[in-house]
Structure 1
């Protein structure tokens, strides 16, 4: 039962939540935050364990520092009502609540690795089936929903918004990597996963696919034969030669970082470019929660967009702010300021060091942890991965990776 609970929560945050919000009303979007809050009492009960470990204590202290800085600037500037500030603060911690819960839960409960592996595999295969059925439906029935980048069809299955497909399939690629680390997966599953990754034709997914291939072969966990690698490489070369992939990479770079002209202003580029100026004007503590580049900054439309002439940028307007969630680092820099931004980087660094220290003698587990953080970084360039369920799912998977036998022994003997 414990194994089923752990795996269900992993896949709930990783795929089931995104599946639900693709079909259900807007009100269901708060479900991931609600589930995270349900895990909070368990953390409070075992808070003494956190206090005994310097890394966990630092993580908790940095989370508290982030909340303190955000609330201080929220109350000082009063750009948003207190309710929006509170909800905006929850966004910053909701991905880390599941992580702390799993660290404590795995420390207090001995899970059967065989049962856990079976549960992981069953949910993984079920998730692949859901996506494939959605792709078949999109190709056969809903052809009009397929977008093209030149000659390349960007398939998205049933997910809405469409960018969720890339997020979910990248997460499943991460789970596949971990399953393959535990036990070599069938060649058919391997080819299927990489095919589903490639047909998204999205830059972040392509980057993550390359990361997976590099780490799989550098870890001597071979999946494909030499012949299959040649076929895959030829396939990728043909795609690039069509021009679509290179066009996408070039356009994404321009849209994200350098689009400045009035006729070429994109929400993402404007959020990145103006974040420096706004954080400088509100040095050192930022503008407060729910004020810039986050979901709650448009639930009650933030005055920051008017003050810095962002209210007329397509995707950031008051009537249609559809691209307000297109970035990760600008909201952190603006809402928390320079001090809060540094605290956030230290938070991620301490989680990484926590995982790496407990895996000092296990290189394959170190590689798995590194792949998790690389996916977080890749996704953070173009989406608020730390603010949504995708980030929570990856942090939960990091917790599961820590459950290696040697690590579990380490946890028990060191009392965290």
Structure 2
């Protein structure tokens, strides 16, 4: 709707733009002059607020566009104008912005709670304070969801245990972490993103001060994209890997050996920020197969997958137009008759699990890492 609205506006405004003088413009039909004066974004604008804020930044439009238009960049730029210049944005984002600014996470939780998941582990976890120890290979960037959201914490603990069992030396920042700023940037609050990112870049630069190889593992595709791609704009280059990539390599190298096959039909939901944005499709599927699961694909999968509805800061906003995106995706998953849905993103997990609960279905939703851990016996 956004692109077609811009196209129709351009066609309608064309006579005004092509007029060679003020006299020529004055002679134009009243409808053309009114179209030329319409605001770009607004209730009576070319693009209504509901349409502008409905984008999940999934990237499907960019991938399918035959002339390589970067739709997301333009949408985010319009959101920046609305947030930073007009101060006009969905009311739900107000609390998110405040939480990010004052607490360093969108939930508004205290920094002291970032280490709570560690207390639930029965093996030691290195908390890095200052420079990363020489014997630690990876910094495990837990992320806000991984530290605070109960379902995502299960993934965090599963990944930590798998790394421990594989003999991979890793450490976490604990209270030294703050949000990467993904939600702030995608929703147009560039000032807030720069504030959060600058703080993290300073922390990461100190952690890896004497390291030429800056290895970071993440469980959140949004952190994956922000740390690995956006932060290069701020002068730091990190070797960021998603947990499915590292775990898949550990399985191939026999550091992790599944001995108790899952023996269930599982369908896999591709996170947009892992799949379309970063082209990571094979590792999660290979992990599921290694775990003994029978992979059953949904009709829309891999590069043509369908969004869960949480990207582009939509995780924090209510849907007002059309069918709920997560419900459409969950219906596809249920239709496969699989016993469970595997995900590789904390936001996807929330959206899919909520959709399953809404449908009152018995399909289980797990992260790929949890299924792998279960298969190790």
Provide TM-score, normalisation by structure 1. 0.29
Is the radius of gyration larger for structure 1 or structure 2? Answer: 2
Structure possessing the higher relative contact order (Cα contacts under 8 Å, 6 or more residues apart) = 1
More strand by share: 2
